Amino acid sequence: MRFEFPFLKKEPPIQERRNPLKPGEIFSPELALRQIRTLPRGEQQHEALSIFKEKLTYQTLGWSRFQEKLFTHLQAHPDISFDTLTKNLKKYREQYGFSDADCKLALRVFRAYQERRAVIQNTLKTYLTNEKLFKALFGAEPQGRLERIESPIAIYLRIHNKDDYTWIRSKAFLTKTKKVIPSKKRWGIAAKLDWTFIRKLRNAVCVERADDVPFEGKRKQIFKHEQQHVLYRFFLDNLEEKISKTTLEHSKKIRIGVEIDETIGSRKDTQLLKLSLFKEFRTFRFIFEEHMKNELLANFIEEKPWDTVMKILLKQEKDGGIYDYSFPLREAYLEVSDANRKHVQNVLDRVFRKEYRVHLLDSIAILKTLEDKGLERQQIAFLLMGIPLRRWQHVAERIINKKR
């Protein structure tokens, strides 16, 4: 399956392009924009704005490339020294003109990484066996065999006993119940965990239902998928300045719960009912696009075929789908009258099947096209991680069509 936007078709691959910055120039977008606003309106301001956009795009690409190279280096050298990290930062600053604020942000991320790394290492030294580690994380001894895969930013446990896995995924361990929980398809075969009994490792532990399958091929790709989820959470927690307010707000709403106005379904005026449903459901979808973006990037890093990704993300909960974001709405509006239920179902299908499918296809097209134009997958993920899904096209167009 191949997707590509018409506005990108005639553009050549992205290569090392002309550096629009002067030797030694430090580019601060905020400061540059303030200076442009002081210029007289007209040709002078328009020309300055054009140069600003070129520099901003160049630096944005540089920031994502810096993150991608840093992450690759950390995987190979997880215990890298702070001095080495700062030397690398200096090299990229000279090339891309990172501002003082950017450098302070990068140093803060370095420290957050070292703190995360120290917590992981201390935990593994304290709990020398996988069984002791499991008990520390989840409060009980495992029933089956465990494997631990090394990762610089996470603890990744391969759980070979199905009951151990479902006990964790159901969050039964939080209530310390030992009752066996029936497995559910929506729990999948791997996940990043928001909760463990070691507080500093929340959002830094992943579990996989290994089922005695060797750690190779597809299973290594699943590891990459879950590691991307850990990176995404780490990114949101430590790089707020580089993330859109929309992304931060929607991520918070998803974590604390999204309110649903169930009274809409009881309205008698059909036209008002439909308008209200469209507004409510599109707002709900807009918020949960943050989830979709997270999964899309993780599948992209996993290198899963695009037609498979489409099937996974579009499958409804009743068919075993684990990414059916319309499910809470279907549940909330189940008790409406028979007449209104038909309208609710029609609007749900329109918003979460037809519109959602087009939106998903467009997003995949952007990822595929950026990769075709020469960007590495991990760099693309860093580039788009903090940007709302509906702004991806704007960012892609600006990057690929920027001046040489």
pLDDT of residue 11: 43
pLDDT grade, residue 122 (50/70/90)?
very high
Q: How much is the average pLDDT of 87-94?
A: 91
pLDDT of residue 265: 58
Q: The pTM is what?
A: 0.81
Q: Does the pLDDT at position 364 exceed 70?
A: yes
Q: Does the pLDDT at position 238 exceed 90?
A: no
**Which letter does DSSP use for residue 240 in this model?**
G
Q: For the beta carbon of residue 195, count every other beta carbon within 10 angstroms.
A: 15
| CB of 297 closer than 8 Å to CB of 228 | yes
pLDDT of residue 341: 78
Say how far apart CA 176 and CA 190 lie, in whole Å. 21
| CB of 393 closer than 8 Å to CB of 34 | no
pLDDT grade, residue 1 (50/70/90)?
very low
Measured CA to CA in angstroms, residue 100 lies from 55, 278, 314 at distances of 16, 45, 43
- Give strand ranges (E) for 150-223: 155-159, 190-193, 205-209
| CB of 144 closer than 8 Å to CB of 159 | yes
Q: If you average pLDDT over every residue of the chain, what do you get? A: 84
pLDDT of residue 227: 92
pLDDT grade, residue 337 (50/70/90)?
low
pLDDT of residue 9: 41
pLDDT of 33-73, one tens digit each? Answer: 999 999 888 888 899 999 999 999 999 999 999 999 888 88
**Which one of 164-168, 231-235, 237-241 scores highest in mean pLDDT?**
164-168
Q: Which of 10-24, 67-81, 188-202, 349-363 has the lowest mean pLDDT?
A: 10-24
Say how far apart CA 219 and CA 282 lie, in whole Å. 35
Q: Does the pLDDT at position 123 exceed 70?
A: yes
pLDDT of residue 98: 94
Stronger pLDDT, 177 or 391, i.e. the higher one: 391
pLDDT of residue 245: 66
Q: For the beta carbon of residue 182, count every other beta carbon within 10 angstroms.
A: 6
pLDDT of 281-304, one tens digit each? Answer: 888 888 888 888 889 999 999 888
pLDDT of residue 99: 92
Q: For the beta carbon of residue 11, count every other beta carbon within 10 angstroms.
A: 14
Report helix, strand or coil for 277: helix
Stronger pLDDT, 27 or 188, i.e. the higher one: 27
Say how far apart CA 132 and CA 197 lie, in whole Å. 13
pLDDT of residue 331: 74
State whether the Cα torsion 211-216-222-226 is positive or negative.
positive
Stronger pLDDT, 257 or 129, i.e. the higher one: 129
User: DSSP characters for 29-64?
Assistant: HHHHHHHHHTSPTTHHHHHHHHHHHHHHHHHHHHHH
pLDDT of residue 260: 56
pLDDT of residue 267: 63
pLDDT of residue 347: 87
pLDDT grade, residue 6 (50/70/90)?
very low
Domain locations in the chain?
6-108, 127-238, 243-404
Q: Does the pLDDT at position 181 exceed 70?
A: no
CA Rg, the chain, in Å? Answer: 24
pLDDT of residue 262: 58
